[in-house]
Amino acid sequence: MILWLIGISGAGKTTIGRKLEAHFKELGKKCYLLDGDEVRDLFDRDLGYSDADREANIKRIILGAYLLDRNDIIGIICNIGPLEHLRQLARRKISGYNEIYLKKDLQASMKNDVKGMYQENVGKTQIVGIDTAFDEPLNPDLVLEVDKMSVEETYRAVLDYVEDKYGGCG
């Protein structure tokens, strides 16, 4: 099972991903949280934030998710996932792919900006949703409007989805 959490910066992907990781580990399940920034760090940040560089980084993440899935490790992927054609590639290549869209208003993300991502990077690098596109997902498996939900409600909704689809994990 691959739970790919997509959404703009500040949507709560890593927060929810870490809660899921702790949950699965508590159940004794093999799982791994793969964050887009972790992949950038592994490759010594050799890619920037142009559309081509983002695409290359996402392809690396798809490979990681594919390998986790092939080895029966629950993959929790926390990545903006802005490009629909790459989400479709992941869906075609990863048999256990589940796309979970944490839908958040851009203005709310910019206002809250918990990690300082918007404040530190506006005008310095391309930001998804501002300078470069975030393709609205065409076929997500689950859509959660996180502006209307608490972190706990969002987390529980993901667990409910997993339980409904896979049983015994929620």
CB atoms within 10 A of CB 138: 9
Domain count, the chain: 1
Q: What pLDDT, on the 0 to 100 scale, is given for residue 36?
A: 84
Name the helix (H) or strand (E) containing 64. helix 51-70
The CATH number of whichever domain residue 159 belongs to comes to: 3.40.50.300
CB atoms within 10 A of CB 31: 19
CA dihedral of residues 160, 164, 168, 170 (deg, nearest 10)? -10
Q: What pLDDT, on the 0 to 100 scale, is given for residue 106?
A: 53
Residues of the chain scoring pLDDT < 50? 110, 118, 121, 129-130
- Domain hosting 58: range is 2-166
Q: CA 58, 16, 143 angle in degrees (round to 5)?
A: 75
Residue with tokens 């490009």: 83
Digit-coded pLDDT (tens) for 142-159: 999 999 999 999 999 999
Q: What pLDDT, on the 0 to 100 scale, is given for residue 122?
A: 52
